[in-house]
Amino acid sequence: MHVRGTVAGDVEVRTVSTSYGESELAEVPVRLAVESDHLDDVTTTTSPFDAAETETDGGTLSDGGAHAADPTTITLWNKWTESAELLEPGMELLVTNAEEDEFRGEQQYATTGDSYVVVAPSFHVNVTAIRNWVECPRLYYLNKLSGVPLNYPVVKGTLVHEVFGDLLRGRDLEESIDARVEERGLELGLLGETADAVAEDVRENATAIEGWLEQGRLTAENEETAATAGDDSEAAFTPAESSWRSEQLLISETFGIRGRADAVRRGAPVELKTGKNLKKEPRFKDKVQAACYALLLEEHGGDVDTGTLLYTKNSALDRNEETGDLTPAKEFSMGDGLLKFVVRLRNELAAMEVSGDVPTGYEGSAKCEYCFEQDTCMVVSGRLDQESKAGQIGQALPAAEREYFDRFYRAIEAERRAVHREFAKLWEQDAQERADDDRALIDLAFLESTELAEGRWELRARRTGGATSKLREGDLVLASNGHPVRGSAELARIERLDEDEILLTADEPVEVTRLDVYPSELTTDRLLAALHDALLKGDERRKDVLFDRAEPEFEPLEETFIPNNDAQDEAVRKAVGADDCALIHGPPGTGKTYTIARAIRAMVERGERVLLSAFTNRAVDNALEALLDQLDGEIGEDSVASPAQRNGDGEAVDVVRVGSESGVREDMQPYRLDRAGDPGERAATLQNAQVVAATTATCGSRVMKEQRFDAALVDEAAQLTEPGTHAAINLADRFVLVGDHEQLPPVVQSEGGTRRVSSGANGDEPRAADLTESLFERLVDRYPEAGVMLTKQYRMNQRIQAFASQEFYDGKLRPASGDVAGRTLDDLSGVTRDDLPTELRDAVTFVDVDGDGSRYTDSEEAARIAEMVEEYRAAGLDAADIGVIAPFRAQVSELSKHVPDEVAVDTVDRFQGSSQEVIIVSFTATDSLEGPIFEDYRRINVALTRPKRALVLVGDANALATDPVYSRMLEWARR
């Protein structure tokens, strides 16, 4: 029986005498969530971070100890008392294979010899993290904080792992080495390596792998010979056909552990290490890592009794010079004790993370004097004034900076826990729920899997039904034959996502019938590294400005850059002349992109190296396109061969777009930096580029972190969290932020869902709100004189613009020209407004629809909107010129059923940054005005400022009139 619940009080460990001698025990008061024989049935989460109320047989359970039932006692015996000592009230606890007992009329539970005790099982710990933790908890923390920098051992390690995977899949060794080294050309070039030298280095390591595979081959052949005695046919063996498999992603719903095993041979884990080990036994931390995978494999039905570590450097060592055991492959037996030890380690890590503490190093027994990271550890401790076993050096950061660090650290960790909740949903939600939540594509019909030349697989499946989802081409997904965790599942990449068919690539074949969004911690990892770099490595002058100790300064410029728009002109002067930073506030359609492009051109003409960044790929590509126009470059045949543009003096300007193939727009592909190729040449292309364009997320990548710029221009800056902004501006001496804080704020997953369980020294609630205010907004408020607001808009008819201008921009937003002010549908070829019903002839119209009273959908609004779309089309308008905005995904789906496919229907968030000739807003309003569109007036600002020529508002006037802003909106729309 498995028991799971929330710790309801303090825990004490004591020693008792039993018939076996002295034993330790801990009695833990727990409010049970649910009891079951099968974990599959344990569907309730009482995660301290999960505020959701959940119905169970035991009554209504809610977060934080408001359970109906009284606490029950769970007794943890012997070694598990170590985990018991980590528990704090509010933490979640899971005990597997517990025994049940009745004591004084009360049901109680206790661990048995087969039990595992899991602290905070919803906290999902990566296997690599456990490996670091066993080395030293502080090392784990330091790695998490700064990320892994670009260095040769790391890239080589990755290459050797890739070649290993290829060999397992039956690829030829030399072919694999050449291809893999070529793929990493850019990274190797930045490290100053040549392809030949790296290939040689990888080859040395690969010898060990080949030798080991050879052994496996013999064993497999022996088995085969025994099975098919007398058969002398040449049974060509390839690893892929045997009981081996390459990289396997394993996710545990019991132990809160996940990771990718390098390989699995006859059901047992094999880990590859590119270092040497001359001892007979594998290193302890390596055993721990293999044991984690063993645990996960057992949960998936395996029975693992060995683990193998392959130290590839051993085979490259000279026997005459080295003493010890040079065999690369070291096998060890996987005892029960080790598996339990691993779970206890994981418990230590999870408990510390859940209570928000920072490791000191005293938790483990590692000796600091032998540690490579000792200096870093001491510096970090010194700068952040943290307790550390290694000691502190250097001067502590000023209190304001430490406070900032702590605040953002907690907020980012809250985001990480939100990602973990997404993992839990992989098994807590059923397929239909996940599909309804846009988290999965289900009911696919598997078509075929085809082996590709390099040993990977191409998977094809047919879509049934018209389901939508968040999934996009280029995304990593969990492709499964029915269940992403319990079934057979592979991490796969979506290569093509057509209306009726999906094409994926994966390391191993799977009969795919379902795709799930793969929750990734990459974003949180990068935010943390950006925070670390900004504070611990950041320039002092930059920090003076960020922390309110110095006003931004400007070099006065006399030049005119944009003659027909004073605000834009001033903005460019500020951007070019800024010593520290400039802020450009651009309301909808006011030429932000144009201004950015002009400013970059001016900087480039001054010989500066510039980073162009934005939150989304779309904005990066838009700005890049505008820049290419400015640089007088046509994107044509010539630029494909040589994507160099000319500057004002006719000199070539190298422009490079860094991003994935699927992320970058088709017409910007010629500028995209291919990472594969000759190392020296790849690195030179990036290093010589005068303008590099990449999303802020990509700015946090290892490759981009090596680049330096004179200036960074960041578009959509109001949608970026502070650490998200740092990721880009850390790379440059000065920065320009461009955005509009009256439009959508940064998206934060953990909003409202975060809660700390303990109230230790840092016992405040993490304020998710810290991430919802952008650096742009904070600086605009703090240094208004460093900013310029653009006021002439080039998009909307005057009547459309009036309300937003008044309500959100103090009436300052004006049409750029008479032409803009007087835009109507008549300007569009083939469209006659007189053919429209009278109410749709105006630039702004309100259509009162009582609605059907449902909360998230409104079929009456949908039906009325479908009629209007037909009326517009009858008057000559293209369906593609119409956009429909709705507050809820459910209403978006409802509307999609009623209108032609060419009409763009989506939520406000997806419309930000785009515009349409006609916009129809479906308010789906009920009496209470609930829903995201109503919670934040900035959303309605975005919705109302998307159209150029006509805006139609559809909703229940009585409901809308209950709110002062909407009431004014109604007044304006009905005028």
State the minimum distance, in angstroms, from the CB of residue 625 to ligand ATP. 10
CA distance 56 to 546: 49
Q: From start to end of 414-517, where are the E strands?
A: 440-441, 445-451, 457-462, 476-480, 489-497, 501-506, 514-517
User: Are the C-beta atoms of 2 and 37 separated by less than 8 Å?
Assistant: yes
DSSP-assigned letter for residue 462:
E
Indicate the residue among 619 and 703 with the shorter CB distance to ligand ATP. Answer: 619
Output the residue with the shortest Cβ distance to ligand ATP: 591
Indicate the residue among 15 and 564 with the shorter CB distance to ligand ATP. Answer: 564
Indicate the residue among 588 and 753 with the shorter CB distance to ligand ATP. Answer: 588
User: Are the C-beta atoms of 479 and 554 separated by less than 8 Å?
Assistant: no
Listed in sequence order, the residues at least 6 apart from 375 whose beta carbon sits closer than 8 Å to its beta carbon are 393
State the minimum distance, in angstroms, from the CB of residue 584 to ligand ATP. 10
DSSP-assigned letter for residue 960:
H
CA distance 118 to 404: 33
3-state secondary structure 562-573: CCCCHHHHHHHH
Indicate the residue among 568 and 613 with the shorter CB distance to ligand ATP. Answer: 568
The phi and psi torsions of 414 (rounded to 5 degrees) equal -65, -35
Indicate the residue among 274 and 622 with the shorter CB distance to ligand ATP. Answer: 622
CA distance 103 to 110: 12
Residues that bind ligand ATP (CB under 6 A): 562, 564-565, 568, 586, 588-594, 794, 913, 915
CA distance 524 to 46: 24
State the minimum distance, in angstroms, from the CB of residue 673 to ligand ATP. 25
Dmax of the chain from CA atoms? Answer: 97
Interaxial angle between packed helices 137-146 and 374-384, expressed in degrees from 0 to 180 and rounded to the nearest 10: 70
3-state secondary structure 637-679: HHHHHCCEEECCCCCEEEEEECCCCCCCCHHHHHHECCCCCCH
State the minimum distance, in angstroms, from the CB of residue 634 to ligand ATP. 16
State the minimum distance, in angstroms, from the CB of residue 585 to ligand ATP. 11
Indicate the residue among 161 and 592 with the shorter CB distance to ligand ATP. Answer: 592
CA distance 104 to 92: 26
State the minimum distance, in angstroms, from the CB of residue 736 to ligand ATP. 14
State the minimum distance, in angstroms, from the CB of residue 485 to ligand ATP. 41
- Mapped onto helix, strand or coil, the DSSP state of residue 957 is helix
User: Are the C-beta atoms of 133 and 345 separated by less than 8 Å?
Assistant: yes
Indicate the residue among 683 and 919 with the shorter CB distance to ligand ATP. Answer: 919
- Mapped onto helix, strand or coil, the DSSP state of residue 924 is coil
Indicate the residue among 31 and 948 with the shorter CB distance to ligand ATP. Answer: 948
Indicate the residue among 119 and 796 with the shorter CB distance to ligand ATP. Answer: 796
User: Are the C-beta atoms of 510 and 480 separated by less than 8 Å?
Assistant: yes
- Determine which helix (DSSP H) or strand (DSSP E) holds 920, and give its type and residue range: strand 916-922
Indicate the residue among 264 and 828 with the shorter CB distance to ligand ATP. Answer: 828
State the minimum distance, in angstroms, from the CB of residue 793 to ligand ATP. 8
State the minimum distance, in angstroms, from the CB of residue 823 to ligand ATP. 12
Q: Among residues 930, 888, 929, 927, which one has the least CA distance to residue 910? A: 888
The phi and psi torsions of 388 (rounded to 5 degrees) equal -150, 140
Q: Among residues 566, 564, 645, which one has the least CA distance to residue 604? A: 645
Indicate the residue among 133 and 808 with the shorter CB distance to ligand ATP. Answer: 808
Indicate the residue among 257 and 789 with the shorter CB distance to ligand ATP. Answer: 789
Interaxial angle between packed helices 889-898 and 859-874, expressed in degrees from 0 to 180 and rounded to the nearest 10: 40
DSSP-assigned letter for residue 533:
I
Listed in sequence order, the residues at least 6 apart from 524 whose beta carbon sits closer than 8 Å to its beta carbon are 412, 413, 415, 416, 419
State the minimum distance, in angstroms, from the CB of residue 949 to ligand ATP. 14
State the minimum distance, in angstroms, from the CB of residue 875 to ligand ATP. 25
State the minimum distance, in angstroms, from the CB of residue 539 to ligand ATP. 30
CA distance 484 to 835: 53
Indicate the residue among 176 and 907 with the shorter CB distance to ligand ATP. Answer: 907
For 379, other C-beta atoms within 10 Å of its C-beta total 16
State the minimum distance, in angstroms, from the CB of residue 776 to ligand ATP. 14
User: Are the C-beta atoms of 705 and 149 separated by less than 8 Å?
Assistant: yes
CA distance 772 to 408: 11
DSSP-assigned letter for residue 554:
B
Residue with token string 């280029």: 474
State the minimum distance, in angstroms, from the CB of residue 945 to ligand ATP. 8
Measured CA distances, 814 to 405, 765, 800, 944 (Å): 41, 43, 11, 15
State the minimum distance, in angstroms, from the CB of residue 568 to ligand ATP. 5
Indicate the residue among 159 and 744 with the shorter CB distance to ligand ATP. Answer: 744
User: Are the C-beta atoms of 233 and 719 separated by less than 8 Å?
Assistant: no
CA distance 582 to 481: 52
Measured CA distances, 494 to 313, 511, 815 (Å): 36, 15, 43
- Mapped onto helix, strand or coil, the DSSP state of residue 347 is helix
Indicate the residue among 356 and 913 with the shorter CB distance to ligand ATP. Answer: 913
Indicate the residue among 189 and 587 with the shorter CB distance to ligand ATP. Answer: 587
State the minimum distance, in angstroms, from the CB of residue 619 to ligand ATP. 8
Pairing of strands 501-506, 457-462: antiparallel
State the minimum distance, in angstroms, from the CB of residue 264 to ligand ATP. 49
State the minimum distance, in angstroms, from the CB of residue 798 to ligand ATP. 16
What is the end-to-end Cα distance of the chain in Å, rounded?
68
Indicate the residue among 265 and 795 with the shorter CB distance to ligand ATP. Answer: 795
Indicate the residue among 568 and 754 with the shorter CB distance to ligand ATP. Answer: 568
